[in-house]
Structure 1
């Protein structure tokens, strides 16, 4: 029968973003055995369109493996039962009973989890935090996502909404955030923040931004976080300074999280973190400067995530495996 070559009880993990659905068949040891990625079709982000896309990719993967459960990592607020997407900022999900809908259509057990929680769980199980019980994971993408693992268990909070670190206020009255507030952490330490700062530098006609100006032909709309990271990696001084500034904001936020959770380890992931030590070195320095009780307490380590873009689907699949043991699936 299909799937026996994959060994014991593979599950499917699905990672849903604002524009894509990535999925894979994942073995118990975290290996991705088959994978698919597709864009959300057309401009529609309606619940039914995204649901259809999820069903389609899972069904295609089931042709390759006899899977027994599905885990879905969704970018949004997921309730404590891991069944309903309460709110998704980049999709039209509002109080969406996703687990019930997918279970009915697929005929398989389904668990729904916040995407940052899923990615954090993958890092704990098979990635940079393997063997560590108290971990805070911070994902730097367009915004900032996060998750907390305490005592080896995901901490979701009473309503399932813990880990929204990006919306901690770090600058009262600061930059306006999409959430409606001002001065949120993600307005200073995220891909959007990096892009905004780079564009402002070019618009100010700063001579230090010449490489950025030339790279986009003077069209600031073409400046993106990945472009700034690329130029920084090539040694451009202005872009390196922008990354370092962002690292300092990152370190400040990590110090605040250390005061709240006292983890052994911080894992920094997401697309912006791919610049590595250009970001992490100033982050560690700012973290050490800002840490409450510095000099009189152990400092948490700050490391880069290990699993890259597949962390979300790997973690979702593993959470489904644990939610539905073989006797229940």
Structure 2
């Protein structure tokens, strides 16, 4: 059975034919049509047709997108970057491509890929936090992806860590997304630059470029600039504190961190572990999980979406 994975991102739509070992057989990428849900649907349909061309057997398709997806992997309740509200996306695609389609949250798809083929191998209970513009979450419990009763579970970026804290795009305040994301890292780097001292190099970089961005701060972290490292440590502290709260509920064997900020590797994991242990209930008596960096990077979304489609087809055969 061929499995096709489609990952709808803010700037691009990535697609691939994925084999049963998680390997990519062939792939396609096109720009995401901005602001037009019909053009986006057309682009996904065209990509599915292109990738399924020449398939000699049945094709199943998994589509990953940011937003709340129902437990039946069918309807998009809400998408933050696309004009979808209670969108029956699965039914629309199946009617146009004549194949079985399942739809899932993009963080769920990436987390499932890491669990099956990447950094989450060899455990049965895993939590993944994706540190990008926001904070995405995925939970695997007892070898199964956790979606919740309505399908909208595992929104770990909206775990509240600071009561009455910074306002979040979700409408609440103090979410980990406001303290543990790429945007948060830039805010912290700018604050350190404003304070002088170890922030002098950050301030000079900001003055030279007009503004700090993820690429500039990332390079300064690689160079172990004191100000950039201090910002990363602040970020890691908040992620570690949130992870301790997650452990109290889910007790995972492994935490996996993905997204652009995770490229910092051990420089990020070190402060995460420290803060985790500071805030872990019953420290010294609670088994400690592993903290690792995701392995599949940019391919996780398409690989996970394809494998989730294959799993769905097997369970409903």
The TM-score with structure 1 as length reference comes to 0.92
| Distance in 2 between residues matched to 1:184 and 1:327, nearest whole Å | 37
Aligned match of 2:48: 58
**Residue 208 of structure 1 pairs with residue 198 of structure 2:** yes
Once the 2 structures are TM-superposed, how far is the Cα of residue 218 of structure 1 from its aligned partner? 4.7
| Distance in 1 between residues matched to 2:316 and 2:151, nearest whole Å | 27
Aligned match of 2:84: 93
Aligned match of 2:169: 178
Aligned match of 1:3: none
Q: 1:288 to 1:61 in 2, by over 3 A?
A: same
For residue 190 of structure 1, the aligned residue among 176, 181, 194 is 181
| Distance in 2 between residues matched to 1:226 and 1:189, nearest whole Å | 17
| Distance in 2 between residues matched to 1:49 and 1:206, nearest whole Å | 48
Q: 1:200 to 1:111 in 2, by over 3 A?
A: same
The residue correspondences of 1:226-245 to structure 2 (distance < 5 A) are 226-245=215-234
Per-residue CA shift, 1:263-301, capped at 9, x if unaligned? 111111111111101100110111111101101121111
Per-residue CA shift, 1:31-77, capped at 9, x if unaligned? 01111122113xx3232121111112222222364561100011100
Q: Is the deviation greater in 254-263 or in 207-216?
A: 207-216
| Distance in 1 between residues matched to 2:225 and 2:50, nearest whole Å | 44
Secondary structure of the residue aligned to 2:207 is coil
Per-residue CA shift, 1:76-125, capped at 9, x if unaligned? 00001110111011111111110001111111100001111111111111
Q: Is the deviation greater in 287-296 or in 319-328?
A: 319-328
Aligned match of 1:167: 158
8 A contact 2:52–2:59 mirrored in 1: no
The list of structure 1 runs, each at least 4 consecutive aligned residues, that deviate by more than 6 angstroms after superposition, is none
Cα RMSD (Å): 1.7
| Distance in 1 between residues matched to 2:290 and 2:198, nearest whole Å | 34
**Residue 116 of structure 1 pairs with residue 107 of structure 2:** yes
| Distance in 1 between residues matched to 2:290 and 2:97, nearest whole Å | 42
Q: Is the deviation greater in 255-264 or in 59-68?
A: 59-68
Aligned match of 1:279: 268
| Distance in 2 between residues matched to 1:38 and 1:209, nearest whole Å | 39
| Distance in 2 between residues matched to 1:211 and 1:26, nearest whole Å | 44
Per-residue CA shift, 1:181-202, capped at 9, x if unaligned? 1111111111010112223333
Aligned match of 2:7: 15
For residue 309 of structure 1, the aligned residue among 291, 298, 317 is 298
Per-residue CA shift, 1:192-217, capped at 9, x if unaligned? 10112223333x26243333333343
Count of residues paired in the alignment: 316
Aligned match of 2:16: 24
| Distance in 2 between residues matched to 1:205 and 1:241, nearest whole Å | 12
| Distance in 1 between residues matched to 2:242 and 2:164, nearest whole Å | 17
| Distance in 1 between residues matched to 2:70 and 2:242, nearest whole Å | 26
